[in-house]
Amino acid sequence: MVKNLEYPLERVLDIKKRRVEAAEKVVKEKQQELAQEEEKLRQCEEERDKVIQHRLDKLNQLRDELDHGTTSPKIIQMKVYIKVVEERVTVEEKKVEDQKEQVRTAERNLEMAKEDLRLKRQEVDKLKTHREDWLKEKQRELEREEEKEMDEIGQVMFGFHKRLEER
């Protein structure tokens, strides 16, 4: 008999289930965005590390030149170049910091999407629990009605048999 009962909030439950599915897609998208931002960060750090290594190589080259007594114009030229490389290091460091901020933003977005998904799942769970309780209550009501009908049938039968016995 319970199968014939239709939960009045079934449509609402279906809508909330679809919202959960949509929120799950958003979480996946945010996870992909985070992975992309982390990959960009890795590339920025790699580029920065190359520039830093290049600067160290040039500093070592300058030291070697100083040890061997190279001419002043060449030393000046090397120092100017090292300054240019140091500016590139600064630029690359800024790129890394900017990208770290992008990663943090992507992490926050992912956490917000996960929280939204959790709340939507919670709504669905509440409705499912409500549906189960509602179905149990309806089942009890049906059982009480059946009991009442059986009592009435029993009374009618008893009355019928009693009248037959009196005749």
For the chain, domain boundaries: 10-128
Q: What is the pLDDT of residues 138-152, one digit of tens each?
A: 999 999 999 999 998
Tell me the C-alpha distance between 88 and 58, whole Å. 13
Does the domain at residues 10-128 carry the CATH identifier 1.10.287.1700?
yes
Q: How large is the angle between the packed helices 72-166 and 10-67, nearest 10 degrees?
A: 160
Q: How far apart are CA 68 and CA 90, in angstroms?
A: 30
Task: Kindly report, residue by residue over 40-87, the tens digit of the pLDDT.
Answer: 999 999 999 999 999 999 999 888 888 887 778 888 898 899 999 999
Is this model's pTM higher than 0.75 or not? Answer: no
How far is Cα 116 from Cα 112, in angstroms, rounded to an integer? 6
What average pLDDT does range 21-33 have in this prediction?
98
- Kindly state the tokens that stand for 26: 């958003």
User: What is the residue whose two structure tokens read 């409500």?
Assistant: 130
